[in-house]
Amino acid sequence: MSFPVTKITLRLRAAAAVSAAAGLIAVMAAVGALFPSVGHTIGTLNVPKSVSNLLGGADYGTITGWFRSEIASIYGPLVIGAIAITGAAATTAAEEEDRILGLVLAQPIRRPRLVAAKATAIAAIVLIVALGTWIGLIVGVALGGGGITLAHMTALAVQLAFFGFATGALAIALGAGTGRRSLASGGAAAVAILGWLINSFAPLVAGLDWLKYLSPFYYYAGHDPLAHGVNIAGIVVLGVLSLVLTAGGIVGIERRDLRA
C-alpha cells in the first residue's frame, strides 16, 4: 500500500464524507425528534408485504421500527452507498479518464499498491459516514425518547460500514478493471439497487427465496441489527466480498493498458 496515495485520496474525498456524515446526523436527529408526535399515530402501515419489506417492515409504531424504516432500510445505505461508489469511481476510473493516473503511474509505484491505497482511503471515508450514522442514531434515538440499546445502534453502524465497504469495493473493481467511470458508478449502483429489490421481493416468491443470499442487503440488514445486534456472518461475508472485489480490481488494472 502507498501512504501518499491514501493521504491524497482522503484529502480530496474527505470533505464529501464529512458533509454526508453531518447530514446524516442532522436528518437522524430530526427523524428521532418526530417520532414521539408522529410515530405512534402512524403505527404499523397496512400495506402489501412487498412494500412492507421495502420499507424495513413499515412498523412506525415503535422506535426500533421507526428507525429501521426511516434510516436502516433506505436512507442509511443510500447515503453510504452513494459516498462509497462515487468516491471509488472518482479515484480510479475518473482519474484515469481525466488523465491523472497516467502521470501518477509514471512514478515508481506498482499498480496493485495504488489500488490497495485507494481502497483503504475509500474504506476510511465509509467509516466517517458510518460514524456519522452512529452519532446520528444516538442523538435521534435520545430525541425520540430512547428504546434502542447502544449495542444495537452500534451494530447498525457496523453493518452499514461493511455494506459501504462492499459497494465501494465493487466500484473499485469495475473502475480499476475497466477504467470507465460510468461503468464503475453505474454498475455498482445498479447492483446495490438490485440487491435491495431482491432482498425485499425474493422472500415473497416461492422457490426464489434463495436469491436473497445473492444480495449484499441481506448480509447488511437481513438479521435486523437494530433489533438483534451485530451479525458476524453478515460482516464476514461483506468483508470477504470487499477483499475479493478489491483483489479483482488489482488484477484487472494490472493486466490492461491505461486508457488515457
Partner 1 sequence: MTAPPAIATSGLTKDYGSGRGLFGLDLEVSGGEVFGFLGPNGAGKSTTMRLLVDLIKPTSGSARVLGLDTVTDSLEIRRRIGFLPGDLAMYAKLTGRAMLDYLGELRGGVDARTRDALVERFDADINRPIHELSTGNRQKLGLVQAFMHEPELMILDEPIAGLDPLVQQSFHALLGEVSAQGRTVFLSSHTLSEVERVTQRLAILREGRLVVVDSLENLRKVAVQRLEIEFAEPVDPGEFRALHGVTEVHADGATLTVGFEGSADAVVKAAAAHEVLAVRPREEDLEDIFLHYYRSESVA
**In angstroms, rounded to a whole number, what is the distance separating the alpha carbons of residues 142 and 145?**
5
Closer by beta carbon to partner 1, 5 or else 27: 5
Position 257 contacts partner 1 (CB under 8 A) = yes
CB distance 143 to 33 below 8 Å? yes
The three three-digit cell numbers of residue 167, written as one number:
459497494
Q: How far is the CB of 106 from partner 1 (least distance, A)?
A: 4
Select from 102, 145, 146, 147 the one that contacts partner 1 (CB under 8 A). Answer: 102
**In angstroms, rounded to a whole number, what is the distance separating the alpha carbons of residues 241 and 171?**
12
Position 109 contacts partner 1 (CB under 8 A) = yes
Q: Which of 177, 144, 137 is nearest to 158 (CA)?
A: 137
Only segment of 40-48, 70-78, 102-110, 158-166 that touches partner 1 (CB under 8 A): 102-110
**In angstroms, rounded to a whole number, what is the distance separating the alpha carbons of residues 155 and 149?**
10
Burial of 210 per CB tally in 10 Å (0-12, 13-18, 19+)? exposed
Q: How far is CA 170 from the centre of its chain?
A: 11
Position 14 contacts partner 1 (CB under 8 A) = no
Q: How far is the CB of 259 from partner 1 (least distance, A)?
A: 9
Closer by beta carbon to partner 1, 109 or else 143: 109
**In angstroms, rounded to a whole number, what is the distance separating the alpha carbons of residues 117 and 137?**
30
Select from 46, 106, 210, 232 the one that contacts partner 1 (CB under 8 A). Answer: 106
CB distance 240 to 219 below 8 Å? no
Position 254 contacts partner 1 (CB under 8 A) = no
**In angstroms, rounded to a whole number, what is the distance separating the alpha carbons of residues 9 and 185?**
17
Position 1 contacts partner 1 (CB under 8 A) = no
Position 43 contacts partner 1 (CB under 8 A) = no
Q: How far is the CB of 243 from partner 1 (least distance, A)?
A: 24
Strand partners, 149: none
Q: How many chain residues are in contact with partner 1, going by CB under 8 A?
A: 20
SS3 82: helix
**Is the backbone of residue 258 left (phi > 0), alpha (psi -120 to 50) or beta?**
beta
Select from 12, 26, 34, 139 the one that contacts partner 1 (CB under 8 A). Answer: 12
Select from 37, 41, 108, 210 the one that contacts partner 1 (CB under 8 A). Answer: 108
Position 2 contacts partner 1 (CB under 8 A) = yes
Q: How far is the CB of 121 from partner 1 (least distance, A)?
A: 13
Select from 14, 26, 45, 105 the one that contacts partner 1 (CB under 8 A). Answer: 105
Only segment of 36-44, 51-59, 74-82, 98-106 that touches partner 1 (CB under 8 A): 98-106
Phi, psi of 59 (to 5 degrees): -95, 95
Residue ranges binding partner 1 (CB under 8 A): 2, 4-5, 8, 12, 98-100, 102-110, 257-258, 260
